[in-house]
Structure 1
Amino acid sequence: MTGNFLIGLREGLEAALVIVLLLAYLKKSGRTHLIPKMWMGIAVAITVSLIFGAVLTFGPKGLTFEAQEIIGGTLSILAVGLVTWMLFWMAKASRTLSSDLKKQVDKAADGPTWGIVLVAALAVGREGLETALFIWASARATGQTWQPLVGSLLGIAAAIAMGMLIHRGVLKINLSTFFKWTGAALVVVAGGVLAYGIHDLQEARVLPGLHNLAFDVSHIISPTGWLGTFLKGIFNFSPATTWLEAIAWVLYVVPVMFLYLRAVNAPKKTPTAASASTTTATPHPAS
């Protein structure tokens, strides 16, 4: 539940910040008439994300056990790939996110009337689809349904509240530090989802080694006990882990954590004299 709360909080806050930036820029640039279209795009993004989550949940039912495991394992690995891409994209794009959104709004405002709907739908929809897929994969890994859903909804609710407070200027937090450490925690959570995806494919006999265990501490940490449930809910830890699961976890978490922390700790590039003079000479929209 804690891991899903973290997913909902981080992804929800990213979407909330995008909405805050769009609202602020539309108001500041005198385009308040486009705000209803922005909300329309956000509604489209939320609807598509909910439909996607429902398809993931109910679509595989009725298939054979092997088919369900193949679909589950493949989508779990895909979810890990998307979340990893999101973490590195956010580490790089966060520095120019505001200016990029402003450029997209300026371009959409001068184009068709549905342009701003598309900008809002794509900006928020990306977060929604990633959230739906990763929460579904995490729920499969924990073997529970309601706890992951409740955890993610609580995280999203907290993100919405934080977004509203940030928009009103009441809440001021160090977003760089927040996203840095929640991202590092998500790397560990994603490692657990990857290991479980590997386990699904082993159960479907797509991958070998289902009975070759790297360790089995079930006699110490019961899968149904409070500690086993706690570790499963946060890290997707399994007391009985195969060699292939353990190797996949290590080969993912160690290098990705290193590269991610290096990316978020990289010093910001300062503009050169030439680029500074170009920026001064080129008019920009009011911001």
Structure 2
Amino acid sequence: MLANFLIGLREGLEASLVIGILVAYLVKAGRRDLLGPLWTGVGIAVTAALGFGAALTFGPKGLSFEAQEAIGGTLSIVAVGLLTWMIFYMGRTARHLRTHLHARLDDAVAAGRGAIVVAALLAVGREGLETALFLWAGAQATGASTRPLLGAVAGLAVAVALGWAFYRGALRLNLRLFFAWTGVFLIVVAGGVLAYGIHDLQEAGILPGLHNLAFDVSAQVPPSSWYATLLKGIFNFTPATTWLQAIGWIAYVVPPLALFVRSVWFSPAPARPATTRVVAATA
């Protein structure tokens, strides 16, 4: 649940900041007439994300076990790829987020109201689709349907509240530090989802080695125990892990984690503090 809370918080905060920056920029520029198209794009993006999540949840129903496992494993690996890209992207660009969005919005304003809808749709829709896919993969990995959703909803609610506080100028946040810390944690979480995806593909018969276990600590960590549930919910840890899962987890987590820490934590500091405060809009 904690992992899904952080996913919802991270993705929701990014979307809230994007919306807040775009709204504040239009208000300061005296273009309140373009707020309608902006919110239309946001609404379409949210609807698309919900529809995508529903399709992932109910689409595979009725298929054979092998087909469901093949789809689940493939989508889990795709989700890991998208989350990894998002982690590195935000780790590098958090400090320049406002400048980047202002440039895109200037182009959209020049192109007309339809371009504003598209700009908002693309800016928010990416986070929505990524969130839907990764939360679905996380729910599949933990074997639960309610707790991951509750964690994500709680994270999104906190993100919306923080986004509103940023917009009103009541709160400041070091975005570079926030995305750096959450990035480290989510790389480990993504490694667990990747291992689960590999296990799904093994059960589907696409990958070999289903019964070749690297370790089995079920006696020490009973699957029904509270701490096994906690480890599975946060890190997607399974007491019985195949060699292919273990190799995949190590191969994924170690190199990206080292690269992320090097590129984000030890990159040169910006000229000004990387603190974002969305300019408050005046009525």
TM-score of the superposed pair, with normalisation by structure 1: 0.92
- Once the two structures are TM-superposed, the CA of residue 173 in structure 1 deviates from its matched residue by 2.1
The share of aligned pairs that are identical, in percent, is 60
Which runs of structure 2 are paired with 1:159-238 in the superposition (5 Å)?
Answer: 159-238=159-238
Name the Cα RMSD after superposition. Answer: 1.1
- Once the two structures are TM-superposed, the CA of residue 83 in structure 1 deviates from its matched residue by 0.5
- Once the two structures are TM-superposed, the CA of residue 94 in structure 1 deviates from its matched residue by 2.1
Q: Distance in 2 between matches of 1:38 and 1:14?
A: 16
Q: Distance in 2 between matches of 1:269 and 1:28?
A: 26
- Once the two structures are TM-superposed, the CA of residue 40 in structure 1 deviates from its matched residue by 0.7
Which runs of structure 2 are paired with 1:1-287 in the superposition (5 Å)?
Answer: 1-265=1-265, 266-268=267-269
- Once the two structures are TM-superposed, the CA of residue 255 in structure 1 deviates from its matched residue by 0.4
Question: 1:284 corresponds to which residue?
Answer: none
Q: Distance in 1 between matches of 2:158 and 2:96?
A: 25
Aligned-partner SS, 1:95: helix
Aligned-partner SS, 2:95: coil
Amino acid at match of 2:76: S
2:79–2:133 Cα contact (<8 Å) kept? yes
Aligned-partner SS, 2:241: strand
Q: Distance in 2 between matches of 1:263 and 1:50?
A: 34
Aligned-partner SS, 1:171: coil
Q: Distance in 2 between matches of 1:173 and 1:268?
A: 16
- Once the two structures are TM-superposed, the CA of residue 143 in structure 1 deviates from its matched residue by 0.4
Q: Distance in 2 between matches of 1:105 and 1:201?
A: 43
Aligned-partner SS, 2:205: coil
Greater Rg over alpha carbons, structure: 1
Q: Distance in 1 between matches of 2:180 and 2:28?
A: 29
2:45–2:125 Cα contact (<8 Å) kept? yes
2:11–2:131 Cα contact (<8 Å) kept? yes
Q: Distance in 2 between matches of 1:125 and 1:58?
A: 21
- Once the two structures are TM-superposed, the CA of residue 32 in structure 1 deviates from its matched residue by 1.3
2:91–2:183 Cα contact (<8 Å) kept? no
Choose 259-268 or 12-21, whichever is displaced more. 259-268
Unaligned runs of 5+ in 1: 271-287
Q: Distance in 1 between matches of 2:269 and 2:30?
A: 32
Amino acid at match of 1:26: L
Amino acid at match of 2:12: G
2:191–2:253 Cα contact (<8 Å) kept? yes
Q: Distance in 2 between matches of 1:100 and 1:237?
A: 38
- Once the two structures are TM-superposed, the CA of residue 88 in structure 1 deviates from its matched residue by 1.2
- Once the two structures are TM-superposed, the CA of residue 268 in structure 1 deviates from its matched residue by 4.5
Q: Distance in 1 between matches of 2:93 and 2:50?
A: 26
TM-score of the superposed pair, with normalisation by structure 2: 0.93
Number of aligned residue pairs: 270
- Once the two structures are TM-superposed, the CA of residue 269 in structure 1 deviates from its matched residue by 6.8
Question: 1:276 corresponds to which residue?
Answer: none
Question: 1:278 corresponds to which residue?
Answer: none
Unaligned runs of 5+ in 2: 272-283
Aligned-partner SS, 1:129: helix
- Once the two structures are TM-superposed, the CA of residue 95 in structure 1 deviates from its matched residue by 3.2
2:104–2:119 Cα contact (<8 Å) kept? yes
Aligned-partner SS, 1:96: helix
